[in-house]
């Protein structure tokens, strides 16, 4: 996540407006104030305002047309794979249904990433996964960060697939996991992930057993889905 202080004025305004849209500040009439009104409200230039609107339009959050003003688009049009959009949503108390949808997407992708890694191991082996497991063990002893080590493991699974499309989901997945893992661990009443279940995935991958690697990852993510469903009363 970028430091807000390091953003230029256009980027800062983009973040302020993006968060305000996510929080429903402009949702009542579906429109933003005019460019002139935004300039006054946020004390920025017309150029910075116009660029911020363009950036949010590119993210699917706004549309701007002559004589129609600046319109807030329905959430279904937002680019959920945009890390900024995801951060704004996750920082605004995301719904359980959103976390469930994210976990369902992981269930569709991570088991296959593990299977791909098992079938075609990276040239350097699974060093990153071993380091992630080591970090998780240290976290159990209070010597490392439990959340970051868990995230390291799951993003390393995506990288191990050696699939360029799957690998590029690492930043998106890392961003969402910062909320998702905290939530499911809270439901379980634990502070850290189950190291042995994660190790089982790595063991299967190193053995070249794609079916088992897939099955072990499905088990991990299936547990997370079941926990969310239990809170939803499904």
What rounded mean pLDDT belongs to the chain?
Answer: 90
pLDDT digits (tens, 9 = 90+) for 44-95: 999 999 999 999 999 999 998 877 788 999 889 999 999 999 989 888 877 8
76's CB contacts (< 8 A; 6+ apart) are none
128's CB contacts (< 8 A; 6+ apart) are 152, 156, 159, 160
Cα–Cα separations (whole angstroms), residue 56 to 46, 47, 78, 85, 91: 15, 14, 9, 9, 17
3-class DSSP assignment, residue 19: helix
**What's the pLDDT at 185?**
77
- Dihedrals phi, psi of 68, to nearest 5 degrees: -115, -10
pTM over 0.85: no
CA distance 210 to 227: 26
Mean pLDDT of 184-191: 73
Radius of gyration of the chain (CA): 21
**CB distance 16 to 31 below 8 Å:** no
- Whether pLDDT at 25 is above 60: yes
Give me the residue spans of the domains in the chain.
4-77, 94-232
- Whether pLDDT at 204 is above 90: yes
CA distance 230 to 160: 32
**What's the pLDDT at 207?**
97
Name all contacts of 21-28 with Cβ < 8 Å and 24+ positions apart: 21/56, 21/61, 21/62, 21/72, 21/88, 22/85, 22/88, 22/89, 22/92, 23/92, 26/72, 27/72
- Whether pLDDT at 186 is above 60: yes
**What's the pLDDT at 170?**
95
**What's the pLDDT at 191?**
62
Between these two residues, 204 and 44, which has the higher pLDDT value? Answer: 204
Q: Taking the chain, what is the end-to-end CA distance rounded to the nearest angstrom? A: 34
**CB distance 75 to 83 below 8 Å:** no
- Residue 90: Cβ within 10 Å count: 19
Residues facing residue 64 across a β-bridge: 70
pLDDT digits (tens, 9 = 90+) for 155-182: 999 999 999 999 999 999 998 888 888 8
CATH for the 4-77 domain, from 1.20.1300.10, 3.40.50.170, 1.20.210.10, 1.10.10.10: 1.10.10.10
35's CB contacts (< 8 A; 6+ apart) are 46, 49, 50, 53, 70
Residue 116's pLDDT band (boundaries 50, 70, 90)? very high
Provide, rounded to the nearest whole percent, the portion of the chain with pLDDT above 70.
95
Classify domain 94-232 at the CATH class level.
mainly alpha
Mean pLDDT of 123-127: 93
pLDDT digits (tens, 9 = 90+) for 216-227: 999 999 998 998
């Amino acid at each position: 996540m970028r430091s807000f202080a390091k953003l230029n004025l256009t980027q800062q305004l983009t973040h302020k407006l993006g968060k305000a849209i996510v929080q429903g500040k402009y949702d009542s009439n579906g429109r933003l104030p005019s460019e002139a009104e935004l300039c006054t409200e946020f004390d920025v230039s017309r150029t910075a305002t116009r660029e911020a609107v363009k950036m949010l339009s590119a993210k699917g959050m706004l549309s701007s047309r002559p004589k129609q003003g600046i319109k807030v688009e329905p959430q279904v049009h937002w680019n959920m794979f945009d890390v900024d959009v995801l951060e704004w949503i996750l920082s605004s108390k995301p719904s359980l249904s959103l976390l469930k949808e994210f976990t369902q997407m992981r269930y569709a992708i991570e088991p296959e990433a593990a299977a791909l890694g098992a079938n075609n191991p990276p040239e350097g082996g699974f060093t990153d996964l071993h380091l992630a497991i080591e970090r998780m063990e240290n976290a159990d002893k209070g010597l490392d960060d439990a959340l970051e080590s868990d995230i390291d493991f799951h993003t390393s699974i995506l990288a191990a697939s050696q699939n360029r499309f799957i690998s590029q989901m690492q930043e998106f997945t890392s961003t969402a996991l910062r909320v998702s893992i905290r939530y499911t661990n809270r439901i379980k009443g634990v502070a850290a992930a189950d190291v042995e279940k994660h190790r089982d995935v790595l063991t299967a991958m190193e053995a070249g057993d794609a079916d088992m690697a897939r099955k072990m990852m499905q088990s991990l993510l299936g547990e997370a889905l079941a926990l969310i469903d239990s809170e939803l009363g499904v």
